[in-house]
Amino acid sequence: MIRHGNRLRRLVRGLRDFVDDLAGTSPARLAIGAFCLVVVVFVLLLSLPISYEDPQDRSLADSVFVAVSAVSVTGLTSVETQEYWSDFGVGVIIAGIQMGGLGILTLASLLGMAMSKRLGVRQRMIAAQATGESALGRVGSLLRAVLVTVVTAEAVVALLLLPRFLARGDAWTDALWHSVFYSISSFNNAGFTIHPGGMAYFADDPWILTVIGASVFVGSLGFPVIFIMSIYWNRPRKWDLHTKLTLTTSVVLVLVAFVLQLLFEAGNPRTLGGKNWAQTGLEAMFMAIMPRSGGFATMEMAEMSQATHLVFDILMFIGGGSSSTAGGIKVTTLAVLILAAVAEARGATDATAFGRRIAPGSVRLAVSVLLAGGTTVFLGTLVMVSITGDPLDLVLFEVISAFATCGLTSGVSGHTSDAGLYVLSVLMLVGRLGTITLASALSQRSLIRLYRFPEERPIVG
């Protein structure tokens, strides 16, 4: 037994060293390569005849699209999940969601740490790339927090949902399966559903909507935020700037979405109109959380007003917290940009928040992320409009949802051609990997100058 254990440890160390050599000096390249490899594996699994309810109705485009959507924890789907895929296929999808949520590199680092009880500097650098944690000394603790947080949170959500599914008349096995499925799908911000009509099936159930909404919100905060809050849960003054900015901006965005949705949809008979105040408030709050990357919907997006579409477009593009299962340019990017603009308007030299000065490099990075995200959405929309011929507002909504790995749909994914599905798949991949990570992986080296040019101010504005 001991001899087999030693062999296993040597094998793991050998695999870890191989991964280190593959990573070289750029963990970002490893992230992209590993992610694409996992996507290929899940495409192959979803292409098996056993994955379909009707093997004669197989489609490579659908397999690719759903596999990418699952691994990137997006939630967009071109088919009805519960009708098109077999039990095996749905199992593959939920496995892809779980693996995508944890992160390929996070799983690899956790395995290496569990076997060797330690992380070397190179492993910490790779894990830091995967989790967004810059302090290498805390990466090992953060990885443990990732695993504990995910398992605990999903277990708690499943336990909260189980009695409600039983009360709704599900058999024990069905109730347990539904609880586990929705706990994984919600905490990972995936948005996949296995009931007819999606989350609209539970639109009149306050308990399920509340639990799933809370699960989506917590999952979208990001592991570094949860890590800090779990340590200093009773001492908010010790929270770092990232945690404070993420929580503050997230709460403000949800409240703004709630108010604007009531304003634009309370009189719309196709969405919230005609419902009592309690049901209206519950659905409005639930839907206010979903553009952060949740992807669940109790109403049809195409039936919302164009004003609400615009609000949701902006919210999806912003997304959730950094190093979370959410997508978008991230709430901290928005916060840094706003703080920089306020500082410039006041004539201040530095952007500050919560008694801390924001590094100029963070401001430049935020501008880069915004421009890269906006450019990606523009190009994606241009291509999709030419492919589908659908109205611009519907196509823009779908493109932003794909790029931001949100999963809310205007209906374009359900009827577009195979070419459209492939374009949206690329957008989901780019959105999940992140524009900055992608740029880092493609760049050969960093440009370091030993001199600086003379300063001159062009006219701006």
- pLDDT tens digits along 64-85: 999 999 999 999 999 999 899 9
Residue 15 has pLDDT above 50, yes or no: no
Residue 71 lies in a domain: yes
Residue 456 lies in a domain: no
Residue 449 lies in a domain: no
Q: What is the pLDDT of residue 115?
A: 46
The total of structural domains in the chain comes to 1
**What band does 262 get if pLDDT is binned at 50, 70 and 90?**
very high
DSSP string, 307-341: HHHHHHHHHHHH-S-TTSS--SS-HHHHHHHHHHH
**What band does 275 get if pLDDT is binned at 50, 70 and 90?**
confident
Cβ neighbours of residue 303 closer than 8 Å, sequence gap 6 or more? 268, 270, 271
Tokens of 281: 């408030």
Q: What is the pLDDT of residue 458?
A: 84
**Domain region containing 31:** 2-442
Residue 152 lies in a domain: yes
Q: Which range is least confidently modeled, 14-28, 127-141, 147-161, 397-411?
A: 14-28
DSSP string, 175-235: HHHHHHHHHHHHHTT-----STTGGGGGTT-HHHHHHHHHHHHHHTT-HHHHHHHHHSTT-
Range 26-43 average pLDDT: 78
User: If DSSP states are collapsed to H, E and C, what string results for 408-440?
Assistant: CCCCHHHHCCHHHHHHHHHHHHHHHHCHHHHHH
Tokens of 216: 């989506």
Residue 168 lies in a domain: yes
The sign of the CA dihedral 80, 85, 91, 97 is: negative
Q: At CA 32, angle to CA 29 and CA 37, rounded to 5? A: 120
Nearest to 309 by CA among 399, 200, 431: 399
Q: Which helix (H) or strand (E) holds 356?
A: strand 356-357
Residue 83 lies in a domain: yes
Residue 136 CB neighbours (<10 A): 14
**What band does 109 get if pLDDT is binned at 50, 70 and 90?**
low
Burial of 167 (0-12, 13-18, 19+ CB in 10 A): exposed
Q: What is the pLDDT of residue 30?
A: 67
Tokens of 236: 């908010």
Q: What is the pLDDT of residue 451?
A: 72
52 neighbors 85 (Cβ within 8 angstroms): yes
153 neighbors 218 (Cβ within 8 angstroms): yes
What are the helix (H) ranges across 356-417?
360-388, 392-403, 412-415
Residue 448 lies in a domain: no
- pLDDT tens digits along 349-359: 889 998 899 98
Residue 145 has pLDDT above 80, yes or no: no
27 neighbors 126 (Cβ within 8 angstroms): yes
Q: What is the pLDDT of residue 246?
A: 93
Residue 93 has pLDDT above 90, yes or no: yes
Range 399-423 average pLDDT: 94
Residue 340 has pLDDT above 60, yes or no: yes
**What band does 22 get if pLDDT is binned at 50, 70 and 90?**
very low
Pick 128 or 379 by higher pLDDT.
Answer: 379
The DSSP bridge partners found for residue 417 are none
The Cα–Cα gap between 337 and 341 comes to: 6
Residue 24 has pLDDT above 90, yes or no: no
Cβ neighbours of residue 47 closer than 8 Å, sequence gap 6 or more? 58, 60, 63
Q: What is the pLDDT of residue 327?
A: 86
The Cα–Cα gap between 277 and 157 comes to: 27
Residue 165 has pLDDT above 50, yes or no: yes
Residue 23 has pLDDT above 50, yes or no: no
Residue 452 lies in a domain: no
